[in-house]
Amino acid sequence: MNNQIFAAPLAGITDKPFRRIIRQFAPDVSLVTEMISCHSLVGQHKNCIRNFDEYGDEGNIGAQIFGADADLMGQAAKILQDAGAKWIDINMGCPVPKVATRAGAGAFLMKDHVLAGKIIEQCVKSVNIPVSIKTRLGWDEAHKDWQDLVHVAHESGATFVSLHGRTRAQGYTGSAVLPQKPSNIELPIIANGDIKTLADIERVEKLGYDGAMIGRGLLGQPWILGVICGTCEIPKNVGEIAMQHLDLIIDYYGAKAGIPMFRKHAAWYSAGMQNSAQFRIKVNQITDEKELKDLMKEFWSL
Ligand SMILES: Cc1cc2nc3c(=O)[nH]c(=O)nc-3n(C[C@H](O)[C@H](O)[C@H](O)COP(=O)(O)O)c2cc1C
């Protein structure tokens, strides 16, 4: 598998604090940032500050951008290269209407391969680091033309492709189904979708894929990549990791903004544990740092 194990971009989740937690368990894996709009990046919009960072201290990290304007995408790619990204990933799979229909970006580029090619070319021209795309099988069941898009990506100078085994129409429903990788595909393809275990990785390896990318499998278990790569074991007390994560979030965003952001992580970390439903209800009401930490200490016996 060439050690090509990736943490997937997850908007609102794989921010700098979460990436730091993942990295602590799996120092050598590749991570991708949450998607960033080329418009907000180039225009330095305020809402972008949250997910635009300096990446120099983050190891092998790809910064993901989305947009439909080739020039702006090129400029955004350059900004991210200057911020320390090791490669640029272009979002060509996001199905949410704000991105795919209203902005003509993300998954929409699976419908417009000419524009997709122009965007890739402009990004490749603007940076001297690799450029990849992340896409899906196609727009819908009747248009599973991902191989054509891979061909365009290759012609336009992209270095590799991450492929989510669902169509845009499927969103996140049903199971991801990846076909055998055809032998005439010109680029390395990283398999994505419903991959959570070493057995899943071995399955996509047998299908001919060159790497594997894990998204939702990271929720509440950021050590999973490390366990798969053999660089860590499952932590004995999940609460210690949750507490560390909370501290990183508060350092990064401050307590007022950070505590509400941490709530979903608290739910994932505690899932399946005894009394977790009551714990979640209490977590969702707390706004004070000390109160939250006291509750976590009690719940996880820290
Ligand atoms: C909450 C959430 C946020 C996501 N954000 C992004 C994103 O910013 N960029 C992107 O390319 N894909 C995004 N995705 C898609 C994932 O990267 C991945 O392709 C998908 O979840 C399938 O992989 P998984 O089954 O391992 O989760 C997101 C998915 C979820 C559930």
**Closest ligand 1 atom number to CA of residue 217:** 26
Q: What is the mean pLDDT of the chain?
A: 95
Cα distance between residue 193 and residue 267, in whole Å:
22
Domain with CATH 3.20.20.70 in the chain: 5-229
Q: Which pair of structure tokens corresponds to residue 31?
A: 């991570």
- The per-residue b/e assignment along 213-230, b for 16 or more CB within 10 angstroms, e otherwise, is bbbebbbbbbbbbbbbbe
Give the lowest-confidence range in 92-101, 147-156, 201-210. 92-101
**At the top level of CATH, which class does the domain 238-300 belong to?**
mainly alpha
Task: Provide the pLDDT confidence category of residue 147 given band limits of 50, 70 and 90.
Answer: very high
Q: Taking Cα atoms as reference points, which of 171, 193, 116, 101 lies closest to residue 148?
A: 116
What are φ and ψ of residue 275, in 5° steps? 65, 20
Q: Are 31 and 62 in contact (CB under 8 A)?
A: yes
For residue 53, the model assigns a pLDDT of 83
Percent of the chain at pLDDT above 90? 91
Annotated catalytic, 229?
no
Q: Which of 5, 6, 10, 132 to mutate to test the pocket of ligand 1 (most atoms within 8 A of CB)?
A: 10
Task: Enumerate residues lining ligand 1, CB below 6 A.
Answer: 8-11, 13, 34-35, 64, 91, 93-94, 134, 164, 172, 192-195, 214-217
The rounded distance, in Å, linking the Cα atoms of 33 and 17 is 11
- pLDDT tens profile 195-227: 999 999 999 999 999 999 999 999 999 999 999
pLDDT at 301 over 50: yes
Instruction: Give me ligand 1 centre to Cα 164, in Å.
Output: 9
For residue 196, the ligand 1 atom closest to its alpha carbon is 26
Q: Where are the alpha helices (DSSP H) in the chain?
A: 16-25, 38-42, 70-82, 97, 113-126, 146-156, 198-206, 224-229, 238-253, 255-270, 276-283, 289-300
Which residues of the chain does CATH 1.10.1200 include? 238-300
Task: Note the pLDDT tens digit of each residue in 31-89.
Answer: 999 999 999 889 876 665 556 788 999 999 999 999 999 999 999 999 999 999 999 99
Q: How many CB atoms lie within 10 A of CB 210?
A: 18
Kindly report the backbone phi and psi dihedral angles of residue 78, in degrees, each rounded to the nearest multiple of 5, phi listed first.
Answer: -65, -40
Give the per-residue pLDDT at 115.
98
- 265 vs 195: CA distance, rounded Å: 20
Q: Which CATH superfamily is domain 5-229 in?
A: Aldolase class I (3.20.20.70)
What angle, rounded to 10 degrees, do the helices at 113-126 and 70-82 form?
40
Residue that has been written with the tokens 């669902």 in this structure:
166
